[in-house]
Amino acid sequence: MNQELIINAEEQEVKIALLEEGKLLELHRDVLNKKFSVGDIYFGIVKKILYGLNAAIIDIGHSKGAFLHYDDIGFQIDQMLNLISSNHINNQKESNNFENQENKNSINHILYIGQKILVQISKEPISNKGPKLTTKICIPGRNLILIPFSEKISISKKIKNIKEKNRLISYIRKIIPNKFGMIIRTAADNEIEKVLNEELIFLMKKWKKTLNNLMKLFPPVRVLSENNKTYCLLRDIFNDHFKSICCNNDFLCQEIHSYLSLIAPKKTSIIKYYKGNIPIFEKYGIEKQIQVFLGKNVPLENGAYLIIEHTEALHVIDVNSGMINHMMKNCTESERSNNILKINLLAATEIARQLRLRDMGGIIVVDFIDMYNSIQKKKLYEHLKEEMKNDRAKHQILPPNKFGLVQFTRHRVRPELKKINVNNKQYQNSPENYIHHLEFVIETIIRNKNHKGIQLHIHSFVSAFLKKGFPSIQQKWLLKYKKWIKIIPRDSFRYTEYQIIDKNHEILLSSFYFH
């Protein structure tokens, strides 16, 4: 599948959109001078021990204390604390006091208030919570992940060839220094030894820089910052499917070119500097997709739609058949069952995209349209798992339960993406957003060839808005779709209600509330 990376560099932030066959798959924001990012390494101080939670609050300079759970303390903690105590001898207790503890199954037997500790951010601050931390320090590269204080070498499960696995592990064992572990990433598959060696040298330099900062600086302080979001994305997701990287900032284009010269020198030609007058996100249709697909109601290509509700601990997704209801009146039971399966399969594909696009995490419950055929249920479950394979976030999907609900969990490391985050302002149902939505459903009907004599019945004020000016929105639709959309004002409708009717007065689509 063709993939594109569209980068919109603004004064205070960089927005990065990943498109797959033109559809928005991921959207990232890199805020300049951001204080806390996943992967950053901090030299912190233990502020508080939470005995009931078997956790500690660490001061890393955030207004809210950062959270470190006992399970996120690695077996290498002794070596790390020894390293810190050897460089910062003014600890409150003896540097080797923790080694004398026989019982280390609780955090208070390892850490104490005022102790200095090296931690890495595993989850950014979300809502009113501080960052989540780990002491399992790792320094990622494109092919390798360096793990200080460890001697374990592991390899990606996605590398299937046994001979290649053995080659990579054997080579890494030859070159890796003592007391360092390594994870061999999927990108290392069939990579030449010279590249792996150069990357190891680069990662070791980053670790030495961290140690130098550790010796010079006093906590709480950041000792190693993760690269900017653009580099991280290229490092983690760049592959042969990328056909274009387009950016509206010349300096950033040059930096991307330098980085791509290292990891994929043959692909530097795909980098393009965008000079157009139209904003780059509008040129590639990204702004329109943001408005259509990041709302509460998400339309599907066949006229069905999703309703996505969020709470603090739970996300609920409901699948609705929408206009398909009007197309299944005279179906046999077998045809109806197959149509429902098609809707559910399409919904599963969109749900997998929505999870990546919004970076939804925690518990997710999906209410698909009821199916009574066990073979179809299994097909839907396998399809959902297949669609989720490309999601880099850890997740677990359960089969449909007796109520027909599919439950799964997904690990989230950053605040969930919403329209309020994208536009830096409170999202409201603006006319522009509503028109984007109307255009999408009209395109859907035309694509499905249910377009003979289309009439749009809509509130009188909205009707006047669509007919206003030259060229009016109605006239623009004629040029765009090569079809005249007749607009009928209806005073009885509410502002966001509409119906789309064909020449036989059959309702093709009745509105659902557009929030």
Write the pLDDT tens digit of every residue in 58-94. Answer: 999 888 889 999 999 987 788 888 888 776 644 444 4
Q: What are phi and psi of 26, to 5 degrees?
A: -140, 150
The pTM score is 0.74
Q: How many CB atoms lie within 10 A of CB 329?
A: 8
Query: Residue 289 and residue 282: Cα distance in Å, rounded?
Result: 10
Q: What are phi and psi of 78, to 5 degrees?
A: -60, -45
- Overall average pLDDT of the 130-140 stretch: 92
Question: Reading across the β-sheet that carries 144-148, which strands appear in turn?
Answer: 139-140, 144-148, 180-184, 153-155
Query: Residue 170 and residue 184: Cα distance in Å, rounded?
Result: 11
- Find out whether 270 and 296 touch, Cβ atoms under 8 Å: no
Question: Greater confidence, 142 or 446?
Answer: 142
pLDDT on residue 24:
92
pLDDT tens digits for range 406-427: 998 998 767 666 654 444 443 3
Query: Residue 152 and residue 189: Cα distance in Å, rounded?
Result: 19
| Beta carbons within 8 Å of 225's beta carbon, 6+ residues apart | 37, 40
pLDDT on residue 137:
92
pLDDT tens digits for range 322-365: 655 555 556 677 878 888 899 999 999 999 999 999 888 889 99
Would you call 414 exposed, middle or buried from its count of C-beta atoms within 10 A (0-12, 13-18, 19+)? middle
Domain extent listing, the chain: 3-33+228-276, 41-134, 139-224, 288-422, 428-510
Residue 23's DSSP bridge partners are 20
The correct answer on CATH 1.10.287.90 for the domain covering 41-134 is no
- The proportion of the chain whose per-residue pLDDT surpasses 70, expressed as a percent, equals 88
- The proportion of the chain whose per-residue pLDDT surpasses 90, expressed as a percent, equals 36
CATH architecture of 139-224: 2-Layer Sandwich (3.30)
Fold exhibited by the domain 3-33+228-276: Nucleotidyltransferase; domain 5 (3.30.420)
CATH class of 428-510: alpha beta
